[in-house]
Amino acid sequence: MIEIAGVTRSYGAFKALDDTSLSIREGEFFSLLGPSGCGKTTLLRMIAGFDTPTSGSIAIDGQPMDGIAANRRPTNMVFQSYAIFPHLNVAQNVAYGLKRLRLDAGEEKRRVEEALAQVSLSGLGSRGATELSGGQRQRVALARALVMRPKVLLLDEPLSALDKKLREQMQVELRRLQQAVGITFVLVTHDQYEALAMSDRIAVMFGGRIAQVAAPKEIYQRPVNRQVADFLGGMNFVKAEIVEESGASIIVETHGFGRVKTDKPQAFVRNGKAATLGIRPERLRVLWDDATSSHQVTGKVVDRHYFGEITHLIVEVPGLEKPLSVSETNNFGADDIPVGAAIRLAYDPDALVAMAD
């Protein structure tokens, strides 16, 4: 649907986007995820036509977009500030783009009402733009874009201005809306939970380059490097040494976890013998009483942090240079484990991921 081929955007010596290629499929919910300044918004604005690549090309639905201005592209955008026209009411905002299509009055009204219904704003058409709450403004911005029936809907951090509860509710609604209308959504966000919760696929970006493109689960569980792993949530990193490398798998030797065989991640580039083994804190499980596991490590609790439904235990394991962070739900009494206690942790070898750096 969207083909981005070798796109670079330079501002003087600074490259906001550096030789980026990406293919976004028809009908998918695609997220560009990364910290501020990673180039995700630049890329989105170039798809919309507000910015021009210094080199490289962008094609939408098979049509090259070089020299095509924003107002002639089959894309519509939901802006971070929503950009609701303050001098127009809700219905006039939604009908803004339709005016150019010169539909007859009944058809225009029908499409406006349909779009308002899609975002649960039926009946608010005559409300003034300045009398809306943050969540309503966001819905108007959505309806105004969807009513144009674009091939691609672009969303620039659409939820960042909402409070936490509303944000979570809108995540679900956006996902539902995308499945209902079936058009390609491209979302820019710096919030990893947002990207994980809504997307079919995610591109993680750092410093103007794409580090990894994959489905949420793959990105979370099989990050290609420590930077991606870190950005998507906490992860324990353990120094490892590569023993054997074959086509699909890799064997590493570590202190603490011993000799581990894992899937070789795509784009694994070997850098000498040193590697890193990663495991997410929630993939380590406390072994109670005399329960045992064929894969376990032993350590001592040195600190703990209580978070209501979960407790973070900081566990020192002999042989590891850094203590392990363990995230355990509180339904078995993890919040009662005292600092200083000796505990055993079980893990699933499939939860271990080898990284080249």
Q: Which residues contact other proteins by CB under 8 A? A: 48-50, 69-72, 75-77, 79-87, 96-97, 100-101, 129-130, 133-134, 137-138, 144-145, 148, 161-162
Cβ closest to other proteins, residue 73 vs residue 304: 73
Nearest distance in Å: CB 166, other proteins: 11
Cβ closest to other proteins, residue 134 vs residue 234: 134
- CA-closest candidate to residue 253, choices 231, 276, 228: 276
Nearest distance in Å: CB 4, other proteins: 19
Nearest distance in Å: CB 75, other proteins: 8
Nearest distance in Å: CB 56, other proteins: 22
> How would you classify residue 19: left for phi > 0, otherwise alpha for psi between -120 and 50, otherwise beta?
left
Cβ closest to other proteins, residue 120 vs residue 266: 120
Cβ closest to other proteins, residue 62 vs residue 86: 86
Q: Please answer whether residues 301 and 323 qualify as being in contact, where contact means their C-beta atoms are separated by less than 8 angstroms.
A: no
CA distances for 139 relative to 123, 164, 168, 175, 243, angstroms: 13, 16, 14, 14, 54
- CA-closest candidate to residue 187, choices 161, 157, 213: 157
Nearest-angstrom CA–CA distance, 242 and 236 = 18
Cβ closest to other proteins, residue 79 vs residue 268: 79
Nearest distance in Å: CB 92, other proteins: 10
Three-class HEC string of 120-150: CCCCCCCCEHHHCCHHHHHHHHHHHHHCCCC
Cβ closest to other proteins, residue 44 vs residue 355: 44
Nearest distance in Å: CB 134, other proteins: 4
Nearest-angstrom CA–CA distance, 305 and 313 = 7
Q: Please answer whether residues 75 and 49 qualify as being in contact, where contact means their C-beta atoms are separated by less than 8 angstroms.
A: yes
